[in-house]
Amino acid sequence: MPDALKIGVAGLGTVGAATIKILTSAANELAERAGRPIRVVAVSARSKGRDRGIDLSSYRWHDDPVALALDPEVDCVIELMGGSEGSAKDLVEAALKAGKSVVTANKALLASHGSTLARLAEQRGATIAFEAAAAGGIPVIKALREALVGNEITRVSGILNGTCNYILSRMEAEGLDFAACLKAAQDLGYAEADPTFDVEGYDTAHKLALLTALAFGTEVDGDAVYVEGISNVTPLDLSMAEELGFRIKLLGVAERTSQGVEQRVHPTFVPRTSQLAGVMGVTNAVEIQAQPVGLITLVGPGAGGGATASAVVGDVVDLARGNRVKTFGRPSGALAKPIRAPMQQHEGGYYVRLQVLDRPGAAATIASRMAERGISLESILQKGRGTPRSASGAVPVILITYATTELRVRDAVAAIAEEGVLDGPPQVIRIER
Protein backbone atom coordinates (compact mmCIF):
# COMPACT_ATOMS: atom_id res chain seq x y z
CA MET A 1 0.00 0.00 0.00
CA PRO A 2 1.31 3.49 -0.78
CA ASP A 3 2.63 5.76 1.97
CA ALA A 4 0.17 7.48 4.25
CA LEU A 5 -1.25 10.90 3.41
CA LYS A 6 -0.14 12.96 6.40
CA ILE A 7 -2.60 15.61 7.52
CA GLY A 8 -2.24 18.82 9.52
CA VAL A 9 -5.44 20.21 11.06
CA ALA A 10 -5.71 23.93 11.89
CA GLY A 11 -8.73 24.78 14.00
CA LEU A 12 -9.98 22.39 16.67
CA GLY A 13 -13.50 23.60 17.31
CA THR A 14 -16.59 21.46 16.86
CA VAL A 15 -15.82 20.62 13.23
CA GLY A 16 -12.10 20.11 13.74
CA ALA A 17 -12.63 17.73 16.65
CA ALA A 18 -15.31 15.83 14.73
CA THR A 19 -13.01 15.53 11.72
CA ILE A 20 -10.19 14.06 13.78
CA LYS A 21 -12.61 11.60 15.41
CA ILE A 22 -13.71 10.32 12.00
CA LEU A 23 -10.17 10.11 10.62
CA THR A 24 -9.01 8.10 13.65
CA SER A 25 -12.04 5.93 14.41
CA ALA A 26 -12.59 4.95 10.76
CA ALA A 27 -8.89 4.83 9.83
CA ASN A 28 -8.92 1.27 8.47
CA GLU A 29 -12.04 1.68 6.36
CA LEU A 30 -10.84 5.03 5.01
CA ALA A 31 -7.49 3.47 4.07
CA GLU A 32 -9.32 0.75 2.13
CA ARG A 33 -11.45 3.29 0.32
CA ALA A 34 -8.60 5.69 -0.39
CA GLY A 35 -6.02 3.06 -1.29
CA ARG A 36 -3.59 4.42 1.29
CA PRO A 37 -3.60 5.29 4.99
CA ILE A 38 -4.66 8.77 6.09
CA ARG A 39 -2.96 9.95 9.25
CA VAL A 40 -3.22 13.16 11.26
CA VAL A 41 0.30 14.17 12.31
CA ALA A 42 0.03 17.81 13.41
CA VAL A 43 -2.55 20.25 14.79
CA SER A 44 -2.88 23.95 15.55
CA ALA A 45 -5.41 25.97 17.54
CA ARG A 46 -5.63 29.01 19.79
CA SER A 47 -5.55 27.11 23.08
CA LYS A 48 -3.52 23.98 23.71
CA GLY A 49 -5.02 23.20 27.11
CA ARG A 50 -8.71 23.21 26.20
CA ASP A 51 -10.55 19.89 26.54
CA ARG A 52 -11.93 18.96 23.12
CA GLY A 53 -12.93 15.40 23.88
CA ILE A 54 -10.12 13.95 21.76
CA ASP A 55 -6.59 12.79 22.51
CA LEU A 56 -4.09 15.16 20.88
CA SER A 57 -0.98 13.78 22.60
CA SER A 58 0.29 11.90 19.53
CA TYR A 59 0.19 14.97 17.25
CA ARG A 60 2.77 17.72 16.92
CA TRP A 61 1.38 21.01 18.22
CA HIS A 62 1.95 24.29 16.39
CA ASP A 63 0.94 27.56 18.03
CA ASP A 64 1.41 29.26 14.66
CA PRO A 65 -0.83 27.82 11.91
CA VAL A 66 1.64 28.94 9.24
CA ALA A 67 4.25 26.76 10.93
CA LEU A 68 1.84 23.85 10.59
CA ALA A 69 1.53 24.56 6.86
CA LEU A 70 5.33 24.54 6.53
CA ASP A 71 5.84 21.41 8.66
CA PRO A 72 7.83 19.04 6.38
CA GLU A 73 5.87 16.06 7.71
CA VAL A 74 2.53 17.51 6.61
CA ASP A 75 1.35 16.62 3.09
CA CYS A 76 -2.11 18.25 3.22
CA VAL A 77 -3.65 20.95 5.38
CA ILE A 78 -7.22 21.06 6.73
CA GLU A 79 -8.17 24.68 7.51
CA LEU A 80 -11.11 25.02 9.91
CA MET A 81 -10.30 28.31 11.62
CA GLY A 82 -12.65 30.53 9.62
CA GLY A 83 -12.43 34.17 8.64
CA SER A 84 -11.62 35.85 5.35
CA GLU A 85 -8.36 37.44 6.50
CA GLY A 86 -5.64 36.95 9.08
CA SER A 87 -4.39 33.55 10.18
CA ALA A 88 -6.69 31.49 7.97
CA LYS A 89 -5.63 33.32 4.82
CA ASP A 90 -1.96 33.21 5.84
CA LEU A 91 -2.17 29.48 6.48
CA VAL A 92 -3.84 28.65 3.17
CA GLU A 93 -1.43 30.81 1.18
CA ALA A 94 1.57 29.25 2.93
CA ALA A 95 0.33 25.72 2.29
CA LEU A 96 -0.38 26.37 -1.38
CA LYS A 97 2.98 28.08 -1.95
CA ALA A 98 4.58 24.97 -0.49
CA GLY A 99 2.66 22.86 -3.00
CA LYS A 100 0.38 21.36 -0.38
CA SER A 101 -3.31 20.86 -1.06
CA VAL A 102 -5.86 22.44 1.26
CA VAL A 103 -9.24 21.20 2.49
CA THR A 104 -11.36 23.99 3.94
CA ALA A 105 -14.85 24.84 5.16
CA ASN A 106 -14.11 28.56 4.97
CA LYS A 107 -16.70 30.14 2.67
CA ALA A 108 -15.80 33.68 3.74
CA LEU A 109 -12.18 33.20 2.69
CA LEU A 110 -13.09 31.71 -0.68
CA ALA A 111 -15.83 34.27 -1.37
CA SER A 112 -13.27 37.04 -0.84
CA HIS A 113 -10.10 35.48 -2.29
CA GLY A 114 -11.20 32.31 -4.10
CA SER A 115 -10.06 33.29 -7.58
CA THR A 116 -6.61 34.40 -6.39
CA LEU A 117 -6.12 31.28 -4.27
CA ALA A 118 -7.25 29.06 -7.16
CA ARG A 119 -4.56 30.56 -9.39
CA LEU A 120 -1.95 30.04 -6.69
CA ALA A 121 -2.99 26.41 -6.25
CA GLU A 122 -2.63 25.73 -9.98
CA GLN A 123 0.75 27.42 -10.14
CA ARG A 124 2.08 25.19 -7.34
CA GLY A 125 0.40 21.96 -8.41
CA ALA A 126 -1.93 21.91 -5.41
CA THR A 127 -5.70 21.62 -4.97
CA ILE A 128 -8.27 23.47 -2.88
CA ALA A 129 -11.17 21.23 -1.83
CA PHE A 130 -14.14 22.93 -0.16
CA GLU A 131 -17.19 20.67 -0.09
CA ALA A 132 -17.81 21.73 3.52
CA ALA A 133 -17.95 25.44 2.62
CA ALA A 134 -21.47 25.36 1.18
CA ALA A 135 -24.51 23.45 2.46
CA GLY A 136 -22.62 21.39 5.03
CA GLY A 137 -23.18 17.69 4.47
CA ILE A 138 -24.91 18.10 1.09
CA PRO A 139 -22.47 17.17 -1.73
CA VAL A 140 -23.41 20.13 -3.92
CA ILE A 141 -19.81 21.15 -4.73
CA LYS A 142 -19.01 17.73 -6.15
CA ALA A 143 -22.30 17.72 -8.05
CA LEU A 144 -21.56 21.06 -9.74
CA ARG A 145 -17.83 20.56 -10.22
CA GLU A 146 -17.83 16.94 -11.34
CA ALA A 147 -21.11 15.06 -11.66
CA LEU A 148 -22.93 17.62 -13.83
CA VAL A 149 -20.12 18.63 -16.20
CA GLY A 150 -22.12 17.33 -19.18
CA ASN A 151 -24.94 19.78 -18.46
CA GLU A 152 -25.59 23.45 -19.07
CA ILE A 153 -26.64 24.89 -15.73
CA THR A 154 -29.12 27.75 -15.89
CA ARG A 155 -30.05 28.24 -12.25
CA VAL A 156 -28.91 27.29 -8.75
CA SER A 157 -31.08 28.18 -5.77
CA GLY A 158 -31.66 27.00 -2.29
CA ILE A 159 -31.92 27.26 1.46
CA LEU A 160 -28.29 27.63 2.49
CA ASN A 161 -28.49 28.75 6.12
CA GLY A 162 -29.97 26.50 8.79
CA THR A 163 -30.25 29.26 11.37
CA CYS A 164 -32.56 31.35 9.18
CA ASN A 165 -34.60 28.33 8.14
CA TYR A 166 -35.07 27.31 11.77
CA ILE A 167 -36.22 30.81 12.75
CA LEU A 168 -38.69 31.13 9.87
CA SER A 169 -40.01 27.59 10.45
CA ARG A 170 -40.65 28.26 14.12
CA MET A 171 -42.16 31.71 13.51
CA GLU A 172 -44.63 30.10 11.13
CA ALA A 173 -45.45 27.09 13.30
CA GLU A 174 -45.87 28.96 16.58
CA GLY A 175 -46.82 32.49 15.51
CA LEU A 176 -43.80 33.92 17.36
CA ASP A 177 -41.95 37.06 16.33
CA PHE A 178 -38.41 37.17 15.00
CA ALA A 179 -36.78 38.19 18.29
CA ALA A 180 -38.32 35.29 20.23
CA CYS A 181 -37.29 32.71 17.63
CA LEU A 182 -33.80 34.14 17.38
CA LYS A 183 -33.42 33.79 21.15
CA ALA A 184 -34.57 30.17 20.91
CA ALA A 185 -32.05 29.52 18.13
CA GLN A 186 -29.28 30.99 20.28
CA ASP A 187 -30.31 28.89 23.29
CA LEU A 188 -30.13 25.75 21.14
CA GLY A 189 -26.74 26.69 19.68
CA TYR A 190 -28.13 27.22 16.17
CA ALA A 191 -27.31 30.96 16.22
CA GLU A 192 -24.25 32.84 17.44
CA ALA A 193 -24.32 35.46 20.20
CA ASP A 194 -23.94 37.99 17.36
CA PRO A 195 -26.24 36.49 14.71
CA THR A 196 -25.83 39.24 12.11
CA PHE A 197 -23.76 37.15 9.68
CA ASP A 198 -26.51 34.53 9.51
CA VAL A 199 -29.79 36.43 9.84
CA GLU A 200 -28.84 39.33 7.57
CA GLY A 201 -27.98 36.92 4.75
CA TYR A 202 -24.20 37.27 4.50
CA ASP A 203 -23.46 33.61 5.22
CA THR A 204 -25.87 32.59 2.44
CA ALA A 205 -24.30 35.18 0.10
CA HIS A 206 -20.81 33.75 0.58
CA LYS A 207 -22.03 30.24 -0.17
CA LEU A 208 -23.99 31.45 -3.19
CA ALA A 209 -20.90 33.19 -4.61
CA LEU A 210 -19.05 29.87 -4.59
CA LEU A 211 -21.92 27.97 -6.19
CA THR A 212 -22.21 30.66 -8.87
CA ALA A 213 -18.55 30.31 -9.86
CA LEU A 214 -18.93 26.54 -10.15
CA ALA A 215 -22.23 26.68 -12.02
CA PHE A 216 -21.43 29.42 -14.53
CA GLY A 217 -17.66 29.34 -14.89
CA THR A 218 -17.10 32.83 -13.52
CA GLU A 219 -14.61 34.26 -11.08
CA VAL A 220 -15.87 34.37 -7.52
CA ASP A 221 -17.51 37.73 -6.87
CA GLY A 222 -19.00 37.96 -3.40
CA ASP A 223 -19.60 41.69 -3.83
CA ALA A 224 -21.98 41.01 -6.73
CA VAL A 225 -24.57 39.30 -4.51
CA TYR A 226 -27.64 41.35 -3.61
CA VAL A 227 -28.38 40.64 0.07
CA GLU A 228 -31.41 41.02 2.33
CA GLY A 229 -31.89 39.19 5.62
CA ILE A 230 -34.93 37.96 7.55
CA SER A 231 -34.99 40.33 10.54
CA ASN A 232 -37.89 42.34 9.06
CA VAL A 233 -40.14 39.34 8.39
CA THR A 234 -43.18 39.41 10.70
CA PRO A 235 -45.73 36.80 11.83
CA LEU A 236 -48.29 38.62 9.68
CA ASP A 237 -46.12 38.11 6.58
CA LEU A 238 -45.87 34.41 7.36
CA SER A 239 -49.62 34.03 7.96
CA MET A 240 -50.36 35.91 4.73
CA ALA A 241 -47.97 33.62 2.87
CA GLU A 242 -49.86 30.62 4.22
CA GLU A 243 -53.23 32.15 3.29
CA LEU A 244 -51.98 32.75 -0.26
CA GLY A 245 -50.51 29.25 -0.67
CA PHE A 246 -46.85 30.05 0.03
CA ARG A 247 -44.12 29.75 2.65
CA ILE A 248 -41.36 32.28 3.27
CA LYS A 249 -37.80 31.02 2.93
CA LEU A 250 -34.48 32.83 2.82
CA LEU A 251 -33.23 31.81 -0.61
CA GLY A 252 -29.94 32.24 -2.38
CA VAL A 253 -30.53 32.36 -6.15
CA ALA A 254 -28.03 32.49 -9.00
CA GLU A 255 -29.33 32.38 -12.55
CA ARG A 256 -28.25 33.33 -16.01
CA THR A 257 -30.31 36.13 -17.54
CA SER A 258 -30.08 38.04 -20.81
CA GLN A 259 -28.23 40.75 -18.90
CA GLY A 260 -25.73 38.53 -17.10
CA VAL A 261 -25.64 36.35 -14.01
CA GLU A 262 -28.05 37.46 -11.29
CA GLN A 263 -27.01 36.65 -7.73
CA ARG A 264 -29.46 37.45 -4.93
CA VAL A 265 -30.21 36.50 -1.34
CA HIS A 266 -33.52 37.54 0.23
CA PRO A 267 -36.72 36.28 1.90
CA THR A 268 -38.91 34.70 -0.77
CA PHE A 269 -42.47 33.46 -1.15
CA VAL A 270 -42.20 29.88 -2.44
CA PRO A 271 -45.26 27.75 -3.31
CA ARG A 272 -46.25 25.39 -0.50
CA THR A 273 -46.36 22.57 -3.06
CA SER A 274 -42.66 23.03 -3.93
CA GLN A 275 -39.87 20.89 -2.52
CA LEU A 276 -38.15 23.90 -0.96
CA ALA A 277 -41.29 24.82 0.97
CA GLY A 278 -41.20 21.44 2.70
CA VAL A 279 -37.66 21.93 4.02
CA MET A 280 -38.06 22.92 7.66
CA GLY A 281 -35.86 23.49 10.69
CA VAL A 282 -32.08 23.62 10.31
CA THR A 283 -32.12 21.52 7.13
CA ASN A 284 -30.63 22.93 3.89
CA ALA A 285 -31.66 22.28 0.30
CA VAL A 286 -30.22 23.14 -3.10
CA GLU A 287 -32.02 23.04 -6.45
CA ILE A 288 -30.02 22.84 -9.67
CA GLN A 289 -31.72 23.45 -13.01
CA ALA A 290 -29.69 22.10 -15.90
CA GLN A 291 -29.98 20.66 -19.39
CA PRO A 292 -30.34 17.88 -20.28
CA VAL A 293 -30.74 16.44 -16.78
CA GLY A 294 -33.55 18.80 -15.67
CA LEU A 295 -34.21 19.74 -12.05
CA ILE A 296 -32.17 18.16 -9.25
CA THR A 297 -32.88 18.80 -5.57
CA LEU A 298 -30.37 17.95 -2.83
CA VAL A 299 -31.58 18.04 0.78
CA GLY A 300 -29.70 17.41 4.00
CA PRO A 301 -28.06 18.82 7.13
CA GLY A 302 -26.43 22.14 6.34
CA ALA A 303 -24.39 22.63 9.50
CA GLY A 304 -23.14 20.96 12.65
CA GLY A 305 -19.95 19.19 13.51
CA GLY A 306 -20.88 15.81 12.10
CA ALA A 307 -22.32 17.02 8.78
CA THR A 308 -19.47 19.45 8.09
CA ALA A 309 -16.80 16.96 9.16
CA SER A 310 -18.36 14.40 6.82
CA ALA A 311 -17.78 16.76 3.90
CA VAL A 312 -14.22 17.51 5.04
CA VAL A 313 -13.33 13.83 5.27
CA GLY A 314 -14.82 13.19 1.83
CA ASP A 315 -12.45 15.79 0.38
CA VAL A 316 -9.48 14.30 2.23
CA VAL A 317 -10.23 10.84 0.84
CA ASP A 318 -10.45 12.31 -2.67
CA LEU A 319 -6.98 13.81 -2.25
CA ALA A 320 -5.63 10.53 -0.86
CA ARG A 321 -6.92 8.78 -3.98
CA GLY A 322 -5.02 11.24 -6.12
CA ASN A 323 -8.10 13.04 -7.44
CA ARG A 324 -7.06 16.52 -8.52
CA VAL A 325 -9.83 18.82 -9.73
CA LYS A 326 -9.48 22.51 -10.50
CA THR A 327 -10.81 24.57 -7.61
CA PHE A 328 -13.82 25.91 -9.51
CA GLY A 329 -14.01 23.14 -12.09
CA ARG A 330 -12.07 24.99 -14.80
CA PRO A 331 -8.56 26.41 -15.12
CA SER A 332 -8.48 29.72 -13.28
CA GLY A 333 -7.49 31.50 -16.49
CA ALA A 334 -10.67 30.25 -18.15
CA LEU A 335 -12.97 31.69 -15.50
CA ALA A 336 -14.90 34.58 -17.01
CA LYS A 337 -15.22 38.01 -15.49
CA PRO A 338 -18.76 37.97 -14.09
CA ILE A 339 -21.29 40.24 -15.75
CA ARG A 340 -23.61 41.38 -13.01
CA ALA A 341 -27.31 41.45 -13.81
CA PRO A 342 -28.67 44.57 -12.09
CA MET A 343 -31.12 43.75 -9.32
CA GLN A 344 -33.34 46.64 -10.44
CA GLN A 345 -34.15 44.65 -13.59
CA HIS A 346 -35.12 41.47 -11.75
CA GLU A 347 -38.53 40.31 -12.95
CA GLY A 348 -41.12 38.43 -10.95
CA GLY A 349 -44.14 38.71 -8.76
CA TYR A 350 -44.08 40.71 -5.54
CA TYR A 351 -45.80 40.70 -2.17
CA VAL A 352 -46.15 44.25 -0.86
CA ARG A 353 -47.49 44.94 2.64
CA LEU A 354 -48.43 48.52 3.43
CA GLN A 355 -49.58 49.85 6.79
CA VAL A 356 -52.24 52.26 5.47
CA LEU A 357 -53.79 55.14 7.37
CA ASP A 358 -57.60 55.31 7.42
CA ARG A 359 -57.97 58.29 5.11
CA PRO A 360 -60.35 58.96 2.23
CA GLY A 361 -58.78 58.12 -1.12
CA ALA A 362 -55.86 56.14 0.33
CA ALA A 363 -56.74 52.98 -1.59
CA ALA A 364 -57.21 54.92 -4.82
CA THR A 365 -53.85 56.61 -4.32
CA ILE A 366 -52.10 53.26 -3.91
CA ALA A 367 -53.77 51.78 -6.99
CA SER A 368 -52.95 54.88 -9.06
CA ARG A 369 -49.25 54.91 -8.14
CA MET A 370 -48.99 51.25 -9.08
CA ALA A 371 -50.87 51.68 -12.36
CA GLU A 372 -48.75 54.69 -13.34
CA ARG A 373 -45.72 52.40 -13.34
CA GLY A 374 -47.37 49.67 -15.33
CA ILE A 375 -47.76 47.29 -12.40
CA SER A 376 -50.74 44.92 -12.64
CA LEU A 377 -52.17 43.69 -9.37
CA GLU A 378 -53.22 40.08 -9.01
CA SER A 379 -54.97 40.73 -5.71
CA ILE A 380 -55.49 43.33 -2.98
CA LEU A 381 -56.29 42.24 0.57
CA GLN A 382 -57.09 44.48 3.52
CA LYS A 383 -56.60 42.86 6.90
CA GLY A 384 -59.00 44.43 9.35
CA ARG A 385 -60.83 42.64 12.15
CA GLY A 386 -58.51 40.47 14.22
CA THR A 387 -55.38 42.07 12.81
CA PRO A 388 -53.37 44.34 15.13
CA ARG A 389 -53.55 47.99 14.16
CA SER A 390 -50.84 50.55 14.75
CA ALA A 391 -51.28 53.31 17.33
CA SER A 392 -52.53 55.54 14.52
CA GLY A 393 -55.24 53.06 13.56
CA ALA A 394 -53.51 52.07 10.31
CA VAL A 395 -54.35 48.64 8.89
CA PRO A 396 -52.30 46.28 6.71
CA VAL A 397 -53.07 46.28 3.01
CA ILE A 398 -51.53 43.44 1.01
CA LEU A 399 -50.78 43.76 -2.70
CA ILE A 400 -49.80 40.79 -4.88
CA THR A 401 -48.42 41.83 -8.25
CA TYR A 402 -48.16 40.03 -11.52
CA ALA A 403 -44.66 39.80 -13.01
CA THR A 404 -42.94 43.18 -13.01
CA THR A 405 -39.50 44.59 -12.28
CA GLU A 406 -37.80 45.44 -9.01
CA LEU A 407 -37.30 49.01 -10.21
CA ARG A 408 -41.00 49.56 -10.86
CA VAL A 409 -42.07 48.12 -7.52
CA ARG A 410 -39.53 50.13 -5.53
CA ASP A 411 -40.41 53.30 -7.42
CA ALA A 412 -44.13 52.78 -6.86
CA VAL A 413 -43.72 52.07 -3.14
CA ALA A 414 -41.57 55.19 -2.73
CA ALA A 415 -44.22 57.27 -4.53
CA ILE A 416 -46.96 55.86 -2.27
CA ALA A 417 -44.90 56.71 0.83
CA GLU A 418 -44.53 60.29 -0.39
CA GLU A 419 -48.33 60.64 -0.45
CA GLY A 420 -48.45 60.45 3.35
CA VAL A 421 -50.90 57.54 3.48
CA LEU A 422 -48.56 55.06 5.19
CA ASP A 423 -47.68 54.49 8.81
CA GLY A 424 -44.26 52.87 8.86
CA PRO A 425 -42.00 51.36 6.22
CA PRO A 426 -43.47 49.05 3.56
CA GLN A 427 -42.61 45.37 3.32
CA VAL A 428 -41.58 44.00 -0.08
CA ILE A 429 -40.94 40.27 -0.60
CA ARG A 430 -40.29 38.59 -3.94
CA ILE A 431 -42.40 35.68 -5.13
CA GLU A 432 -41.00 32.57 -6.84
CA ARG A 433 -43.65 30.54 -8.63
Exposed/middle/buried for residue 214 (C-beta within 10 Å: 0-12, 13-18, 19+): buried
CA dihedral 301, 297, 314, 61 (to 10 degrees): -40
Exposed/middle/buried for residue 296 (C-beta within 10 Å: 0-12, 13-18, 19+): middle
- For residue 156, give the nearest of 223, 241, 216 by alpha carbon: 216
Query: What is the greatest pairwise CA distance in the chain?
Result: 84
What residues have CB less than 8 Å from 319, skipping those under 6 apart? Answer: 5, 76, 101, 103, 127, 129
Q: Is 207 a catalytic residue?
A: yes
**Catalytic annotation, pick one of 89, 100, 207, 249:** 207
- For residue 249, give the nearest of 211, 277, 227 by alpha carbon: 277
Exposed/middle/buried for residue 421 (C-beta within 10 Å: 0-12, 13-18, 19+): buried
Q: How many residues does the chain have?
A: 433
Instruction: Give catalytic residue positions.
Output: 207
